[in-house]
Every structure is written in structure tokens, then in C-alpha cells.
Structure 1
Amino acid sequence: MNRALTSLAGLLAAALLSGAALAHDFKAGDLRIDHPYATPTRPGLKTGGVYFRGIKNTGTQPDRLLSASTPRAGVVEIHRMQMDGDVMRMRAVPALDLPARTDVPLRHGSPDGHHLMLLELKQPLKDGERFPITLTFERAGAHEVMVWVQTPKRAPSGAGHSHP
């Protein structure tokens, strides 16, 4: 019986640790940056996207994402996606508002939302890779986080956006 309990405890610990290894989030002052990820790109593409499950502002003061940079791309822009009839429109915006006590999602395939656009990619993004990106916030300052390149399990409903 003790051997069975020891084995079960070991299996549970391994399961918990493997789940913790898959989840990744970062703290930047009052901000919680949850699961930065990018989608793989095809060879020859010079653009890609970085997404987040969300950026949660747990504080009482608003903050803003002002810019981002990574050694993997020449330029990083904050982009807003918005449905215009049946067409997904995307445009660069100067900053992303992060209201106090709010969770702002930046998910892949979201019909109305934001993401970071990687321009002038130096090489394709491959499934399983990780790379750093530095996020600069108005109040929380600059923070480096690791982005995991992963193929989305499924696109959310209404997804019609892709990077060519």
C-alpha cells in the first residue's frame, strides 16, 4: 500500500511540474503578462505575430504598452485588428491601453483585438522555439519576456485573420 501511495504521489508531482513547465507568465509591476506566444511562419515570410493569453493590470492605476522589440525582427508594432463587414482590417496603433483591474486579451485569431506585429523577421519562426521580446510600459517600465512559438490548437470562432 505504501509503495502504491508513493508511486501515485510521484505521478501527481510529475504531472503538476510538467503543467507548470508548460504555463509561463511574467510579472512587471502591477502587470501580469500571461503566456506570450507566436505562431510559426512559413519560410520566406518576413512578418509574424506575437500574442498573449492576456495582460492583466492588477493595480489601481492604468498603464499602457508603449513599444516592443526583439532581436528576431527589425521592427515590432502594436496592431489592432477589427472586423469591417466581412473583412479583417489591421492597423498599427501608438500604444495599448491597460486599464486598472482589467485583463486585456491579445489572442491569435480574435476578430477584434490587438497583437504585436513582427516586421523584417530575420528568420522564420519554428514550432517549439523560444525567443525574447522586451515590452516597454508607461508605468511598469521595460521587461523582457520569453515568447514560445507554437501552433494554435484551434482558431477561435470568427477567426479570419492570418499573416500572409
Structure 2
Amino acid sequence: MLKNLLILAALLLPVSFAQADQYKVGELTIAQPWSMELPPNAPAAAAYFVIHNSGQQPDRLVSVDTPIAATAELHEHVHANGLMKMQQVPAVDIPPGADATFAPMGYHVMMLDLKDKSSLIEGAQFPLTLHFEKSGNITVQVVVLKQAPMQGMHNH
């Protein structure tokens, strides 16, 4: 009986961890903020998360900032002339009842001119402040991972 409970607890642990990584501002929920561990000489890093809008009105992520980088920008990957390229975007819309997914090969926060590379080691965390047009600002803790989380890779 105890062995079964321990197995069940071990199976539920990742779900509990994922649920704990949620932040709420206004009608928006920001889930699973994460970044990939990088080598010490990396000039830039990216952060990912999912924003869910449970409200009746659209909102917009207009900017981001973090103390670990001189500049943080909203970017997206796009297909152009058969090539994938990354480009800065002025804002990201979050329609009512929908998700805006920030994931590899999609929207992401690009952090340039890194100031604190010790924040990009597996298991470390760093603050990232999201600035929304209607809901205001919220600071989330971005967890640095060795590889992308499975739940962070889905799209709605």
C-alpha cells in the first residue's frame, strides 16, 4: 500500500510542479515560464511561457524586461522565402478565451547583452517583468532547464 502511494506521489509530482508555475494578472494567467540552459559564452538567451486570457476582452503584451539583460525584446520565428528567421515584433495579442504560446520556433522573449550569465545555469531562476496593455505589469520567475518541458511545447 505504501509503495503504491509513493509511486502515485512520484507520478503526480511533475503535475504539481507545473501547476505551481502559474502567475495571474487581471484576466491573464502566465504558465510555466522557462529558459534553456546556455553555455557561458552565449551572447543572448530566450524565455518561453504560455499566456491564457480567460476574460471577455483582448489584451496585448507590449514589452518585457529583466535585470539579467540590457535589452529584452518580443520576437517571433517566421518563414520567409523558404527560410526560418527571427524578427522583433512590437506586441503580441492575446485574444479573449485564447492562448498566446511562447515556445521554441514561435514567439519568444529575446534577452540581449546578458549581464548575469550565472542566472542561465540549470536550476537557476531569474525575474522577467511582462507589461500588458490592459492588465498592467507582472513579474514572473523564469526557471532555467536543461531541455524544453513537454507541456511547454504544446500549442492551442
Give the number of aligned pairs: 148
| Aligned: 1:71 with 2:71 | no
Three-state SS of the structure 1 residue aligned to 2:107 is strand
Q: Which residue of 1 aligns with 2:121?
A: 126
Three-state SS of the structure 2 residue aligned to 1:78 is strand
Q: CA deviation at 1:16?
A: 2.8
Three-state SS of the structure 1 residue aligned to 2:122 is coil
| Aligned: 1:144 with 2:139 | yes
Q: Which residue of 2 aligns with 1:114?
A: 107
The answer for unaligned runs of 5 or more in structure 2 is none
| Aligned: 1:19 with 2:15 | yes
Q: CA deviation at 1:64?
A: 0.4
CA distance in 2, matches of 1:135, 1:15: 32
Q: CA deviation at 1:150?
A: 1.1
Q: CA deviation at 1:93?
A: 1.4
Q: CA deviation at 1:13?
A: 4.0
RMSD: 2.2
Q: Which residue of 2 aligns with 1:34?
A: 31
Q: Which residue of 2 aligns with 1:161?
A: none
Q: CA deviation at 1:88?
A: 1.4
Three-state SS of the structure 2 residue aligned to 1:44 is coil
Give the 4+ runs in structure 1 shifted more than 4 A: 153-156
1:46·1:122 contact (CA, 8 Å) conserved in 2? no
Give the TM-score, by structure 1 length: 0.79
Q: 2:46 aligns with which of 46, 49, 56?
A: 49
Identical pairs, percent? 36
CA distance in 2, matches of 1:154, 1:19: 12
CA distance in 1, matches of 2:112, 2:32: 21
Give the TM-score, by structure 2 length: 0.83
